[in-house]
A and B are shown apart, each in its own frame.
Chain A
Amino acid sequence: MHIVVCIKQVPDSAQIRVHPVTNTIMRQGVPTIINPYDLFALEEALRLRDAMGGEVTVLTMGPPTAADSLRKALAFGADRAVLLTDRYFAGSDTLATSYALSMALTKIASEFGKPEIIFTGKQTIDGDTAQVGPGIAKRLDYNQLTYISRIVETDVAKGEITVERRAEGGIQLLKTKMPALITMLEATNEMRRGAIETALKAARAEVVTWNAEAVGIEDLTKCGLRGSPTIVKRVFAPEARSEKAQLVEVDGDAGAKAEALIAEIFGRAPAVEDDMREFAATHH
């Protein structure tokens, strides 16, 4: 089975700083990591491969330095790494990104075999859109399984995959035909530590590097800033809340405590009291 995992190199959000004067995000000097959600996807892919045989290819679109993230993925145990990099891709939104990646995936299919499963993380920590996975699925006509918490079964003979999907209010058990694209939820597994042999192999591995032309992109207006209808108008840090939490201490039973709490809330926000009274009056 051939599995492709799409990963993204992102700034380590724990170490991101907001410029005190301009309020812009300072990306310079911030260490990069593999998008944490993608690691769950990668580990799941490696487990499937270990259980059923086959290969795992990791794919990323990004600047040349994104090769670091690919090397890391190789050290975890991926078999092959592909870097899609071109200055024409700079400034891509989710539409342009899913286009470029789907072109690369098509090339991967023809060079290394058609992937039965494509994995992505649930979303990235720097964009938070969760749109790229579904975008790829749509473009490549793969069945789409989002927010997956567990892979229950893969039946290669029948070409079927059964998964658990976390949804509001419960867990759905879903079965679909492969090829399928899965976006993996967080905390679904724990990333392994690659053995020394794997790490050594990874340290020497060549990263397959393709540009727009190499993956057959002719229409550059579909790429990068030009191919991105989404416009970020402004980036700003939300103002910190100045109010502190307050402990309301009252002797007495639960009723008395609730009374005191309500009085405190109404005292601070009279509008809430008015609304509540109106609500009570109209909904009796």
Chain B
Amino acid sequence: MIEEKFDAIVVGAGPSGNAAAYTMAKEGLNVLQIERGEYSGSKNVQGAILYADALEKIIPNFREEAPLERHVIEQRMWSMDDKSHTGMHYRSDDFNEEKPNRYTILRAQFDKWFSSKVREAGAVLLCETTVTELVKDTQGNVIGVRTDRGNEPILANVVILAEGVNGLVGQRSGLRSEIKPDTVALAVKEMHFLPRETVEARFNLKGNEGVVIEAMGTITKGMTGTGFLYTNEESISVGIGCIVSDMSESGVTPYDLLEAFKEHPSIKPLLEGSECKEYAAHLIPEGGYKAIPQLVGDGWIVVGDAGQFVNAVHREGSNLAMTTGRIAADTVVWLTRRKEEMSKANFLEYEKRLEQTFVMKDLKKYKGIPALLHSNKQNFFGLYPKLISGALQTWFRVDGVDKVSKEKEIFQSFRRSRTLLGMMGDAFKLVRAWR
């Protein structure tokens, strides 16, 4: 029997769990963090973008120690058909600021570093230990957890569920339902190693500058999803992801999608001569605001991916994870100090505080987007990228055809494939969902 009762148990050591455990431990709470992987980050998919702001609010001087790859100075947004891409690139020397805004990172290294800060702050970390279920008292209040290391419970005043997208512990304990295949994407990613100089020459970079490419179009073969490519110090992360229900409908495997993406004439030269060292697949919750499960109960709080906190439109996840983790922790610290109960009613404070942050504001703003894109996937991820590409090709090709005829041809290509009304409808819906 373990006599000790912790102030808080955090399930999971991803960005949300680390943010929560760090914040509480730093404030002097007795925190136990449990991670099923060998170490924090061992279960995570490599290569990601770190948004400085969310981490700065937790560890203000993180830039001095965290393992960062490159700071992002250029964003490329591509609409792709099978042979072309239409791009909007934004590059600015303003991003070469003293405290850069976005970085590329390797998750395994970054998470490990973050975890070392959590331990320095005084939290106890148990790795290679899986939480199997929540322990409840007779009234149904959560009072601790059980792990795969025997039946013995460990008790705490509150359990913070930072267990990632699957939310199995919450599910098994009846706090939430299973995630639905149309609200979650499966992403696959590879790391391609290249000498530093090659990365810099290929993307016009100097020093630690970095580029991010985000792409949509026929690369997802009519399914809802996006492809991406990030430059790291000596490697490139490349990946693609689609909504799970689309994949099971189409029968296209994620691996095939990635292979085709890498063979695309716009991507292939960027990866040429590289050596692929890692392949990983992971789920991303993309249901947005409408898919958020119950977030608090008596003795428990949900943070990060487990709460579906991902802004799929902007590919932001870890920053929402850290922010929700931090705010949940702040709430627990606040209640502990006031000697208040860790009850559902008191945890509404967490939800209230979240409403005031970009997390809830952004997810609310885009609440209509996931469903819209999903129900019009053939148009958004097939037809429109093809039409745009065709139009630009007609426009730029100099072949003796006069410009008025070209304009007509372009207009008709649009009319032929989709009624004017349909197109206007899509545009209208998109604008409305965006607002």
A203 with B125: in contact, given A31-B38, A196-B147, A196-B149 (CB under 8 Å)?
yes
Task: Evaluate contact between B128 and A75: CB separation under 8 angstroms.
Answer: yes
Task: Evaluate contact between B126 and A199: CB separation under 8 angstroms.
Answer: yes
Task: Point out the residues of chain B lying under 8 angstroms from A200, CB to CB.
Answer: 2, 32, 124, 126, 154
A14, B128: Cα distance in complex, Å: 19
A196, B39: Cα distance in complex, Å: 17
Task: Evaluate contact between B277 and A196: CB separation under 8 angstroms.
Answer: no
A193, CB-defined interface residue at 8 Å: yes
A194, CB-defined interface residue at 8 Å: yes
A68, B129: Cα distance in complex, Å: 16
Give per-residue flags for B141-154: 1 if the beta carbon is below 8 A from chain A beta carbons, else 0.
Answer: 00000011110101
A189, B275: Cα distance in complex, Å: 39
Task: Point out the residues of chain A lying under 8 angstroms from B42, CB to CB.
Answer: 31
Task: Point out the residues of chain B lying under 8 angstroms from A193, CB to CB.
Answer: 148-149
- What is the size, in residues, of chain A's interface with B at 8 Å between Cβ atoms? 16
Say which size band chain B's interface belongs to: 10 to 19
A195, CB-defined interface residue at 8 Å: yes
Task: Point out the residues of chain B lying under 8 angstroms from A87, CB to CB.
Answer: none
Task: Point out the residues of chain B lying under 8 angstroms from A17, CB to CB.
Answer: 277
A204 with B124: in contact, given A196-B149, A196-B150, A196-B154 (CB under 8 Å)?
yes
A20, CB-defined interface residue at 8 Å: yes
Contact partner, A195, options B39, B125, B149, Cβ 8 Å: B149
Contact partner, A196, options B2, B38, B109, Cβ 8 Å: B2
Main secondary structure of the interface of A (DSSP, over half): helix
Mark out the residues of chain A between 182 and 229 whose CB falls within 8 Å of any chain B CB in the assembled complex.
Answer: 193-197, 199-200, 203-204
Nearest Cβ in chain B — how far from A268, in angstroms?
A: 34
Nearest Cβ in chain A — how far from B106, in angstroms?
A: 8
Task: Evaluate contact between A197 and B38: CB separation under 8 angstroms.
Answer: no
A29, B152: Cα distance in complex, Å: 36
A75, B38: Cα distance in complex, Å: 12
Nearest Cβ in chain B — how far from A32, in angstroms?
A: 10
Give per-residue flags for A19-41: 1 if the beta carbon is below 8 A from chain B beta carbons, else 0.
Answer: 01000000001010000000000
Nearest Cβ in chain B — how far from A188, in angstroms?
A: 22
A195, B2: Cα distance in complex, Å: 11
Task: Point out the residues of chain A lying under 8 angstroms from B277, CB to CB.
Answer: 17
- CB-nearest residue of chain B to A202: B126
Contact partner, A194, options B39, B125, B149, B154, Cβ 8 Å: B149
Task: Point out the residues of chain B lying under 8 angstroms from A68, CB to CB.
Answer: 39
Task: Point out the residues of chain A lying under 8 angstroms from B275, CB to CB.
Answer: 20
- CB-nearest residue of chain A to B146: A196
Nearest Cβ in chain A — how far from B1, in angstroms?
A: 9
Task: Evaluate contact between B2 and A197: CB separation under 8 angstroms.
Answer: yes
Task: Evaluate contact between B150 and A195: CB separation under 8 angstroms.
Answer: yes
- CB-nearest residue of chain A to B38: A31
Task: Evaluate contact between A195 and B124: CB separation under 8 angstroms.
Answer: no
Q: Nearest 7 A-B pairs (CB), nearest first?
A: A196-B149, A203-B124, A195-B150, A196-B152, A199-B126, A203-B126, A196-B147
Given A31-B42, A195-B152, 20 extra CB contacts under 8 A? A17-B277, A20-B275, A29-B109, A68-B39, A75-B128, A193-B149, A194-B149, A195-B149, A196-B2, A196-B149, A196-B150, A196-B152, A196-B154, A197-B152, A199-B149, A200-B2, A200-B32, A200-B126, A200-B154, A203-B124
Residue pairs across A and B with Cβ atoms less than 8 A apart, 12 shown, are: A68-B39, A75-B128, A193-B148, A195-B150, A196-B154, A197-B2, A199-B149, A200-B32, A200-B126, A203-B124, A203-B125, A203-B126
- On A, residues with C-beta under 8 Å from B are 17, 20, 29, 31, 68, 72, 75, 193-197, 199-200, 203-204
- On B, residues with C-beta under 8 Å from A are 2, 32, 38-39, 42, 109, 124-126, 128-129, 147-150, 152, 154, 275, 277
